[in-house]
Amino acid sequence: MALSEVPYIRWAKYEGLMGRHRLTASAVPPVEWSDIGLDPGSLALTEYSPYGPEEVFQRLNSDWGIDPGGIVLGASASHAHFCFAASMVPQGGTVVHESPGYFPLLDALSLLGVRKVPIQRRFEENYRLDPAELQQKIEAEKADLVLLTHLHNPTGVALSEDEIAGLVEVVEKTGCPVIIDEMYRPFLDPDPGPICLRHPKIVSVWGLNKIHGLPQVRFGWGCGTPQLADQARRIFDSTTLHTSCLTDQVARAAMNHLDVLAARGRKISRGGWAQFSKWLKNHDLPLVEPSGGLTCFPRIPSSVARDGDHFRELCMERDLNVTPGRFFGEPNHVRIGFGAPEEELKVSLQILGEVLEAGRGPAS
């Protein structure tokens, strides 16, 4: 049996938290209880709902017109993603996935013995998705499922309207279902909404995490057709009895404050990127500008370090942590998070600049 190693998740839990200064975070700083209008003393230990609080279904229906029967609330967005994916790909099936990409979503399918086939999103092409190349890959490999992210993780690049239209056409022509992790999509302003609305074989996954300031609540959802959701609930029933009653109550409260929480998250994202892009003007660090979100994915110059892991070692010598790009399929890159509070980010960027300059050595 092939057990998933999920190397990035293991790293994030331990090594990712090292260092006094960190550019590893991928979510906005947490909110307070008062920000979601909830007194923790009011939390009940006896509440129960078989598939999650009704208020979440109602909010997603109100915001996007999604049929509540097509929504699966998970113990996290990753759990909801797994429930849909495991119900759609057969044992030993073929999964086409983007690279670079967020591989934990793929690793979770290891127990099914899936065959993993990458499709490249290239630095030189601004990480655009090529629908024609995707269709060719699906047909040549007889793919059972495609996994994508929007905003792209780790780069923060959004799918353009042409790319989305092309993707929908590919799904229509091939019949191959697609799951899109859209955790960072709400950072776009205005939020264009979930891509699942564009085709019945597309599933969108997101939740209360990156933008809302509730990263430890672990509550997310997948949205598709009622038929796909019913299949996903069979996996849900096999992997957990129901979501936590405490999480359900926090999620219910947050539903009444989503707009305010999202506005806060976008403000943090804009401020962080403004600070980072100002710093970037004085430093040679090649990257593709993110469309939104909290992360970017620069390429490390060979004159500075051998690869992303070596660059992290140089940073850690100064108590600064960054995320090596090998976890996302690009060893010569690092993922940098710029969502920290302004003063913390300022200090971290100053150190980052010192590491870059020291690595290049004295000017000739």
Mean pLDDT by 10 residues, the chain (364 residues): 78 95 96 97 92 96 97 96 97 97 93 95 98 98 98 98 98 98 97 98 96 93 98 96 93 96 98 98 96 98 96 98 97 97 97 91 48
Contact 335, 262 (CB under 8 A): no
pLDDT at 364: 34
Bridge partners of residue 219, in order along the sequence: 208
Contact 135, 129 (CB under 8 A): no
Between vectors from CA 126 to CA 297 and to CA 340, what angle results, nearest 5°? 30
- Would you kindly state where each structural domain of the chain is located, as residue ranges? 7-28+259-359, 47-257
Helical ranges in 108-221 per DSSP H: 131-141, 161-174
pLDDT at 48: 87
Q: Rounded to an integer, what distance in angstroms lies between the CA atom of residue 267 and that of residue 253? A: 22
The structural architecture, per CATH, of the domain 47-257 is 3-Layer(aba) Sandwich (3.40)
pLDDT at 5: 73
Angle subtended by helix axes 161-174 and 131-141, to nearest 10 = 20
pLDDT at 47: 87
Q: Residue 235: exposed, middle, or buried by beta-carbon count in 10 A (0-12, 13-18, 19+)?
A: buried
- Which structure tokens are listed for 47? 């509440």
Q: If one looks up domain 7-28+259-359 in CATH, what number appears?
A: 3.90.1150.10
Q: Residue 26: exposed, middle, or buried by beta-carbon count in 10 A (0-12, 13-18, 19+)?
A: buried
Return the residue matching tokens 């113990």. 75
Task: For residue 297, give the nearest of 329, 335, 259 by alpha carbon.
Answer: 335
Contact 235, 112 (CB under 8 A): no
Q: Rounded to an integer, what distance in angstroms lies between the CA atom of residue 80 and that of residue 251? A: 15
Q: Rounded to an integer, what distance in angstroms lies between the CA atom of residue 24 and that of residue 201? A: 34
Contact 211, 295 (CB under 8 A): no
pLDDT at 225: 98
**DSSP SS3 for 47:** coil
